[in-house]
Amino acid sequence: MSKIAVLGAGSWGTALSMVLVDNGHDVRLWTHREQQAEEINGSHRNDRYLKEIDLPAELVAYTDLERAVHEVDAILVVVPTKAIRQVASQLAKVLHHEVTLIHATKGIDPDSLKRVSEMLEEELPRSLYRELVVLSGPSHAEEVALGQPTTVAVSSRQIEEAEIAQDLFINERFRVYTNPDLVGVELGGALKNIIALGAGISDGLGYGDNAKSALITRGIAEISRLGVSMGASPLTFAGLTGVGDLIVTCTSPHSRNWRAGHLLGKGYAMDDVLEEMGMVVEGVRTTKAAYRLATEQNVELPITMGLYKVLFEDANPKDVVDQLMTRGRRHEMEDLEYGLGGHFSR
Ligand SMILES: NC(=O)c1ccc[n+]([C@@H]2O[C@H](COP(=O)([O-])OP(=O)(O)OC[C@H]3O[C@@H](n4cnc5c(N)ncnc54)[C@H](O)[C@@H]3O)[C@@H](O)[C@H]2O)c1
Ligand SMILES: O=P(O)(O)OC[C@H](O)CO
């Protein structure tokens, strides 16, 4: 049994805490909101984030970060990307020993253009952890909380740290694979949210399965293009944290990104949509980050660019779809054009 602090009591932090409690660990769920801690400890519910789910009585919520992390073996950070630096700097002040450090947040910071692990590394002294671990994959909190079969991957620069995280989480309903490609695992989870917003918009506009399938497959092509330019392996994007997560997020009404896109496609204004969601929609900020990265690195991301125009330049989604459909002609597989596995003859 390990002592584990989970920082962030939203839907994902709560669902992952349930997995850890199921595995027999002593779990402290930290929230910055007193009322939420009272609800979790008193009625064993976290209804705003996981409706109608009874939490295990062993799960204890804390509002005092220092007490929550006292003598823990591992810390799981799972606050939204926007809060990562703030929570990490609070943690740096109260943590005084080395832990296994895992994060399960999916995003890229649009200001610094850093991945979540990079922000954590910048904010936390190296003496507090060995090598950071990322947990990602196709996993709606609502299904994990119900104990439905789920698979994810953990990645770290050191296999030992990834295996420690694998051991903490794995059980017969929550299968955890290891993957050495930390950059790819992190980017797949972050960038799929952009495409999920697009898939929601497409559904909201009334377009059908053909359009959504196009978004998923051309989406993974552009995720891979940007990912490879940032040092990821293209193979990772064919796995759980790439196409796996893209499918789950683009096709499910559980997805906040899909739902937000759906409302945008129906004509609601962005501010109203975000207020209606009441939970984090990571794809919005990540679209800004990917737009900047693509511009800086000269990588072609047509769907992301189109979505940026809809989200931040008030473009009409239907016009953006028209622009995407009438772009110049292209080969489908860029590498095949150059003879890797096949080539044309005229
Ligand atoms: N919900 C899912 O199914 C799911 C699955 C996989 C990954 N994720 C990722 O996990 C991350 C968290 O998502 P979520 O679904 O739990 O979000 P959420 O909106 O359900 O909850 C976010 C939680 O973070 C807390 N928070 C926000 N700012 C904070 C701060 N400064 N200090 C302390 N706490 C703060 C909020 O109070 C809230 O409890 C996101 O990056 C998301 O993409 C979510
Ligand atoms: O609800 P979303 O859109 O944030 O997606 C949740 C998870 O990332 C799906 O794997």
Establish if 164 belongs to a structural domain. yes
Any binding-site annotation on 93? no
Q: Which of 192, 212, 266, 288 is catalytic?
A: 192
Do 88 and 138 share a domain, yes or no? yes
Establish if 317 belongs to a structural domain. yes
Q: For residue 179, what are the contacts with CB-CB under 8 A and spacing of at least 6?
A: 153, 154, 155, 162, 185, 236, 239, 241
Domain total of the chain? 2
Instruction: Give, for all 346 residues of the chain, the pLDDT tens digit.
Output: 999 999 999 999 999 999 999 999 999 999 999 999 999 999 999 999 999 999 999 999 999 999 999 999 999 999 999 999 999 999 999 999 999 999 999 999 999 999 999 999 999 999 999 999 999 999 999 999 999 999 999 999 999 999 999 999 999 999 999 999 999 999 999 999 999 999 999 999 999 999 999 999 999 999 999 999 999 999 999 999 999 999 999 999 999 999 999 999 999 999 999 998 999 999 999 999 999 999 999 999 999 999 999 999 999 999 999 999 999 998 898 765 555 566 667 7
Do 221 and 284 share a domain, yes or no? yes
* 336 CA from centroid of ligand 1 (Å): 40
80 in ligand 1 pocket by Cβ < 6 Å?
Answer: yes
| Amino acid letter for position 105 | T
317 in ligand 1 pocket by Cβ < 6 Å?
Answer: no
Query: How large is the ipTM?
Result: 0.99
Report the C-alpha gap between 291 and 317 in whole angstroms: 17
Could you tell me the CATH number of the domain that includes residue 291? 1.10.1040.10
Domain boundary among 140, 164, 180: 180
Establish if 340 belongs to a structural domain. no
Do 134 and 201 share a domain, yes or no? no
27: three-class secondary structure by DSSP: strand
49 in ligand 1 pocket by Cβ < 6 Å?
Answer: yes
Establish if 239 belongs to a structural domain. yes
* Alpha-carbon 9 to chain mean position: 15
Do 27 and 144 share a domain, yes or no? yes
Question: Which region, left, alpha or beta, applies to residue 316 given φ > 0 means left and ψ of -120 to 50 means alpha?
Answer: beta
Do 82 and 10 share a domain, yes or no? yes
Establish if 346 belongs to a structural domain. no
User: Quick one: pLDDT at residue 101?
Assistant: 98
Establish if 337 belongs to a structural domain. no
Any binding-site annotation on 244? no
Could you tell me the CATH number of the domain that includes residue 108? 3.40.50.720
Total residue count of the chain as it appears in this document? 346
Establish if 342 belongs to a structural domain. no
DSSP 46: B
Do 172 and 26 share a domain, yes or no? yes
Report the C-alpha gap between 140 and 132 in whole angstroms: 23
Domain boundary among 180, 204, 221: 180
Query: Which structural domain, as residue segments, surrounds residue 18?
Result: 3-180
Q: Which residue, by CA, sits nearest to atom 2 of ligand 2?
A: 255
Do 205 and 167 share a domain, yes or no? no
Any binding-site annotation on 3? no
192 in ligand 2 pocket by Cβ < 6 Å?
Answer: no
Any binding-site annotation on 13? yes
Q: Which residue, by CA, sits nearest to atom 1 of ligand 2?
A: 255
Do 122 and 194 share a domain, yes or no? no
Look up 192 and say whether it is catalytic: yes
Q: What are the helix (H) ranges across 235-316?
A: 245-251, 256-265, 270-277, 282-297, 302-312
Do 196 and 160 share a domain, yes or no? no
Do 95 and 206 share a domain, yes or no? no
User: Quick one: pLDDT at residue 97?
Assistant: 97
Q: Which helix (H) or strand (E) is 26 found in, with range?
A: strand 26-30
User: Quick one: pLDDT at residue 334?
Assistant: 75
Do 192 and 174 share a domain, yes or no? no
Domain boundary among 162, 180, 198: 180
279 in ligand 1 pocket by Cβ < 6 Å?
Answer: yes
Do 132 and 234 share a domain, yes or no? no
* 29 CA from centroid of ligand 1 (Å): 13
Q: Which helix (H) or strand (E) is 45 found in, with range?
A: none
**How buried is 324 (Cβ within 10 angstroms: 0-12 exposed, 13-18 middle, 19+ buried)?**
middle
Establish if 345 belongs to a structural domain. no
Taking the CA of 29 as reference, the closest ligand is: 1
* 283 CA from centroid of ligand 1 (Å): 13
137 in ligand 1 pocket by Cβ < 6 Å?
Answer: no
- Ligand 2 atom with the shortest distance to the CA of 136: 10
